[in-house]
Structure 1
Amino acid sequence: MTITSLLPGPIGFGTAPLGNMFRAIPDEEAAATVQAAWDQGIRYFDTAPFYGAGLSEERLGAALAGKDRDRYVLSTKVGRVILDELETGSRDLGEKGGLFEHGNPNKIVHEWTAEATERSIEDSLKRLGVDRLDIVWVHDIAQDFHGDLWLQKFEEARTGAFRVLSRLRDEGVIKAWGLGVNRTEPVELALALDEPQPDGFLLAGRYSLLDHDHALQRLLPMAAEHGVDMVVGGPYSSGILAGGTHFEYQEASPEIIEKVRRIKDIADRHAVSIKAAALQFSLAHPVTAAVVPGATKPSRIAEDLSALHENVPADFWAELRKANLVSPNAPLPGNA
């Protein structure tokens, strides 16, 4: 089953911000944001134990409680087991240090074995308050968290998580599985395996208006060849394309700020919102099944949906191409 056939539309709700990413948000604001997404027709929700050490799953589950489980698609991730024991020191999150410092204080075990995968799924079901998951992503077996050890983590997942999820899919317990990562190489490696084969992948930050060259070189042609779909996470590049200051989960560099300024100047000349440009660019690739921007304020949902449907003239894309702000190989909306 393809990811595209599972998803109810081109936009979902990414719940990393509900885990208090970058800042602490009140429970009421988190609940109101999920409700706004529901009220405006969004029916795909993506979460993970890692987001705030279970906080995102808890908040999403509470917000969706009472809603017909058959009316929405739910994905979460494996690779982190959340313990009852509390963390006493600082967490080692590789390049993402401090990302969820406002989340739950529970200890996080990073493990992709079969046993850890089954426990992770059981714990997620409890936190979410549901009886089943639709899609499960294998989370963060990549260089940004593990440096030179990432291949070791990938092998742990290949012999553990991949096989468990393939079995659960074959048994009909879940509908699909894949990788949820911020780098292209683990997905390329997974697609090259004889077995087990993923159904798709959630790629965060690597197919955005701001950063897409690398994905176009090898990963996306491979995905098209294998008939495997991509969900685009982080279409606003951690917020810098939505008026924020973060890129790659850190404060944006002067070079990135300058590139965004150039894109925005062209957008302003064509009366195009940069959010519309970001979402519609990520959706234009034929491998893309959906985008899942995150939000922590109800008003952001309406902005995202408006951006999705905004009319963006072909001249805008042509000028971006001429200014070398999009790759010559990138499919553009409307075949611009």
Structure 2
Amino acid sequence: MSIKEKLAGNVLGFGTAPLGNMFRDIPEAEAQATVDAAWEHGVRYFDTAPFYGAGLAEIRLGEALARRKRDEYVLSTKVGRLILDEVEDASARALGEKSGLFAAGRPNRLVNDYSADATLRSIDDSLKRMKTDRIDIVWIHDIAQDFYGDEWLSYFEVARKGAFRVLTRLREEGVIKAWGLGVNRVEPIELTLDLSEAQPDGFLLAGRYSLLDHERALQRLMPKAAQRNTGIVVGGPYSSGILAGGTHFEYQKAPAEIIAQVERIKAIAQQHGVGIKAAALQFVLANPAVAAVIPGASRPARVAEDAAALKETIPAAFWHELREQRLVAANAPLPVDRI
């Protein structure tokens, strides 16, 4: 089942990375209220991962969704990182992969493993953490992270022989409905699409298709995905927060050139009476290859903003000016192109 078919009617999903205490320690009640707010605003697609707070996001999401009927929502999580019972001390966490992002998450140690056995164990562990009987979509997570350096192709090869094959079998057996890669780089998706033996149903691309960064994805990935009807779920539409009033870009403090770019977009948005969140979400969804967008939220009010942004009417003149000012690529599909 293609991702577009699986997510039909669910163009606005909910990304749960913030529920793993990304950047701040979120009170439990606030986390639960945020998921409840998403549900009340019609969200029926929820994406999570073991990496988010070393299982904390999965645990919290499972608690919140336990009150809902399982057939009424779509659930995706990820494989590629195993959570160990071993606990890291504070100094190890400060130096490790979780530093900065999920320093306030659970202290359990994470290991990268894309093998067949690890994939099966990861899915089983996620089911237990979320207290659910099934996962609809499984993404192979962060297979080409920058911290892998030039070694990412070796991780990809392990996944090709391990996770790819296991997830294909689980889909054929009806255990899961769909699988693909969940990454923040274009290259592994392009490589996967070129593999004759791999038949993924779609991809989750985080941060690489947004108002601030989309040209590489437009070169080859988006056209090929649209041609194959292999839907793209876009994560990070606000570019780690800088497009939603925050200060982060690519999970770090935004550099001066990005801040300047955002200010130019904001100035045009203000001139046309457009909300920056509305522009960010509607730009993403204008691409025919995109099946859904999954902004993250850590407060109920943020979810309400996302839902309102999706419905906001944006004048054609705004999009024309972005294109004229070269703030979006000339070949980027825009909502105005559909009018």
Count of residue correspondences: 335
Matched, 1:5 2:8: no
- Map Cα deviations across residues 294-316 of structure 1 (whole Å, 9 max, x no partner): 00000111100100010000000
Indicate the residue corresponding to 1:130 in structure 2. Answer: 132
Aligned residues of 2:4 and 2:230 also touching (Cα < 8 A): no
- Map Cα deviations across residues 171-209 of structure 1 (whole Å, 9 max, x no partner): 111000000000000000011101121110000000001
Aligned-pair CA distance for 1:225? 2.5
Aligned-pair CA distance for 1:91? 6.3
Structure 2: gaps of 5 or more residues: none
Matched, 1:278 2:287: no
- Map Cα deviations across residues 81-118 of structure 1 (whole Å, 9 max, x no partner): 10111012136656x74211110000101100000000
Aligned equivalents of 2:162, 2:147: Cα separation in 1: 19
Aligned residues of 2:319 and 2:336 also touching (Cα < 8 A): no
Aligned residues of 1:13 and 1:292 also touching (Cα < 8 A): yes
Indicate the residue corresponding to 1:329 in structure 2. Answer: 331
Indicate the residue corresponding to 2:237 in structure 1. Answer: 235
The aligned runs of 1:87-106 (5 Å cut-off) are 87-88=88-89, 89-90=92-93, 97-106=99-108
Aligned equivalents of 2:123, 2:287: Cα separation in 1: 31
Which of residues 244, 248, 253 in structure 1 aligns to 2:255?
253
Indicate the residue corresponding to 1:155 in structure 2. Answer: 157
Indicate the residue corresponding to 2:87 in structure 1. Answer: 86
Give the secondary structure class of the aligned counterpart of 2:233.
strand
- Map Cα deviations across residues 192-236 of structure 1 (whole Å, 9 max, x no partner): 101121110000000001110110011112212322110000000
Tell me the TM-score normalized by structure 1: 0.98
Aligned equivalents of 1:69, 1:212: Cα separation in 2: 35
Aligned equivalents of 1:214, 1:158: Cα separation in 2: 24
Aligned equivalents of 1:99, 1:193: Cα separation in 2: 33
Aligned equivalents of 1:98, 1:112: Cα separation in 2: 24
Matched, 1:77 2:78: yes
Give the secondary structure class of the aligned counterpart of 2:93.
coil
Structure 1: gaps of 5 or more residues: none
Amino acid at match of 2:181: L
Give the secondary structure class of the aligned counterpart of 1:231.
strand
The aligned runs of 1:288-307 (5 Å cut-off) are 288-307=290-309
Q: Specify whether residues 93 and 286 from structure 1 end up closer, same or farther in structure 2 by C-alpha distance, changes over 3 A only.
A: farther
Identical amino acids, percent of aligned pairs? 67
Aligned equivalents of 1:149, 1:90: Cα separation in 2: 22
The aligned runs of 1:192-203 (5 Å cut-off) are 192-203=194-205
Aligned equivalents of 2:39, 2:55: Cα separation in 1: 21
Indicate the residue corresponding to 1:269 in structure 2. Answer: 271
Aligned equivalents of 1:31, 1:71: Cα separation in 2: 18
Amino acid at match of 1:229: G
Aligned equivalents of 2:57, 2:206: Cα separation in 1: 17
The aligned runs of 1:97-246 (5 Å cut-off) are 97-246=99-248
Aligned equivalents of 1:208, 1:77: Cα separation in 2: 22
Aligned equivalents of 2:5, 2:119: Cα separation in 1: 25
Tell me the TM-score normalized by structure 2: 0.97
Aligned equivalents of 2:242, 2:263: Cα separation in 1: 10
Indicate the residue corresponding to 1:15 in structure 2. Answer: 16
Indicate the residue corresponding to 1:67 in structure 2. Answer: 68
Amino acid at match of 1:3: I
